[in-house]
Amino acid sequence: MSQPVPDPGPDPGPDPEPDPEPDPGPHPDPDPGPDPEPEYAFSHSAADEARRLELFQARLDPLTIRRIERLQLSRGARCLEIGAGRGSIALWLCGLVGPEGEVTATDIQPEFLTRLSAANLTVRQHDVRVDPMPAGSFDFIHLRAVLMHLEHRMKILRRVVSWLAPGGWLLVEEPDFGMWQADYDPVWAGHPRAWHEAFPHGSLSQGRALLRQIHNLELAEVGADAELDVVTPGSALAEFYRLSMSALAAPSVATGVLTREEAAALTARPTDRDFLGCGFAYFGAWGRRRFIADHATSRSADDPA
Ligand SMILES: C[S@@+](CC[C@H](N)C(=O)[O-])C[C@H]1O[C@@H](n2cnc3c(N)ncnc32)[C@H](O)[C@@H]1O
């Protein structure tokens, strides 16, 4: 978990945060250096984390499956699911691509994934920020709700694209706090800023940022869409948000941005009978690696320049 840091300053606002480092170009990262500190907010060993991720999957899997089906992947395709969480999409892909296909599911915390079983599934503990992956080796790569937690997001996207085979598809799906920040409920609208102060590596606007980033990856057949959560008390979605607020209460109090009472009110808010509020907007953006071999992109981001 990230350590609390001094006040990062004013709300970063709706613009996608720029990468704080120069664009690494087509062959970044020859020496990723020592393992970076974990940036992710939610430990998989926390009591409610399995349930929280299960609710997240139940909300998002139908949307993700619709998006993947539009890409018309072939049976036999080689798939990479990055930051796979509890692995529902990895398992679904195993069925989609059939026994002649392969699915690699990675996570920095692979404990949930190692419990899954499918003949064409490989599970790897892998940090998308620094760990290598063979260049040009996947026909489909998917990330969902991973980049929003990490810094150097454009650099990570370039690494990921280098792992695509020519003609391979990238689908990135990222939540965005924009509507939530602008919600009319004053208790509820306080959460995004508290999260960002506790986890300043993350992005409040990664969903919107995708709409720009996807154009800078030199992909073909680029597209994007989005869907918004409206949280209704008593719903499965309200339980997901309550568990998320509960898990984030301690770090929000530790940074001093919320009092214990405010954190408790925020945690209870999605279940209050008078509540209706905006949650995440879920952006999806996709594109396809061009077939024309090009020296710059046919190397792994991990190969020496
Ligand atoms: C919000 S969860 C989403 C899980 C899954 N993608 C889903 O949508 O159901 C984010 C996942 O990313 C993983 N993760 C965080 N940092 C990572 C990193 N640097 N490399 C790989 N996975 C990471 C977390 O362990 C977690 O399982």
64 assigned to some structural domain: yes
Residue 19 has what pLDDT? 43
* 149 Cβ below 6 A of ligand 1: yes
Domain with residue 126: its CATH number is 3.40.50.150
For ligand 1, pick from 1, 35, 37, 40 the residue to mutate: most ligand atoms within 8 Å of CB.
40
145 assigned to some structural domain: yes
240 assigned to some structural domain: no
> For the chain, how many structural domains are there in total?
1
Dihedral Cα 207, 208, 214, 216, nearest 10 deg: -130
> In tens digits, what is the pLDDT along the chain, a chain of 305 residues?
333 333 333 344 433 444 443 333 333 443 445 566 667 878 888 889 999 999 999 999 999 999 999 999 999 999 999 999 999 999 999 999 999 999 999 999 999 999 999 999 999 999 999 999 999 999 999 999 999 999 999 999 999 999 999 999 999 999 999 999 999 999 999 999 999 999 999 999 999 999 999 999 999 999 999 999 999 999 999 999 999 999 999 999 999 989 999 999 999 999 999 999 999 999 999 999 999 755 444 455 554 43
For ligand 1, pick from 107, 176, 206 the residue to mutate: most ligand atoms within 8 Å of CB.
107
For residue 268, with 0-12 CB atoms within 10 Å meaning exposed, 13-18 middle and 19 or more buried, which class applies?
middle
Tell me the three state secondary structure of residue 262: helix
Atom of ligand 1 nearest to the CA of 53: 9
CA 107 / ligand 1 centre spacing (Å): 6
Residue 292 has what pLDDT? 74
Range of the domain at 163: 49-179+201-229+281-289
252 assigned to some structural domain: no
139 assigned to some structural domain: yes
Give the residue whose CA is nearest to atom 12 of ligand 1. Answer: 83
**Total-model pTM:** 0.87
* 56 Cβ below 6 A of ligand 1: yes
